[in-house]
Amino acid sequence: MENVIVDVAQAAAQVAQAAEPVDWPQALRNVGAGLAMGFGAMGPGIGIGILGHGAMSALGRNPEARGPIMTNMLIAIGLCEAVAIYSLIVAIILGMM
């Protein structure tokens, strides 16, 4: 067991010596792009879930109003998706810098 630990430590030291220096500005831009996309998709996901719940509840109470309910729901979902697309574009721009 001790030999394995020594071998792993020696291998890690060799990798650390051979590793290229980290490009911190690019690494932080990539983290920022991931966070932008993650948080930017969380809000629309929650919003679309709430919209779907509200529309299905309304359809359950008044099935005759299907047309206006579905139309308004789809328009609102499109607006929610626009926010997610904006965050995707920001993430792409951050990743390409």
Q: Tokens for 77, please give them.
A: 């979902």
Q: Are 32 and 96 in contact (CB under 8 A)?
A: no
Amino acid identity for residue 41 in this structure? A
Q: What is the pLDDT of residues 49-73, one digit of tens each?
A: 999 999 999 999 999 999 999 999 9
Q: What is the pLDDT of residues 11-63, one digit of tens each?
A: 877 776 766 777 888 889 999 999 999 999 999 999 999 999 999 999 999 99
Q: How far is CA 48 from CA 33, 60, 70, in A?
A: 23, 18, 13
CATH superfamily of 23-96: F1F0 ATP synthase subunit C (1.20.20.10)
Q: Distance (Å, rounded) from C-alpha 47 to C-alpha 35?
A: 19
Q: What residue spans define the domains of the chain?
A: 23-96
47: buried, middle or exposed (CB in 10 Å: 19+, 13-18, 0-12)?
middle
Is the pTM higher than 0.85?
A: no
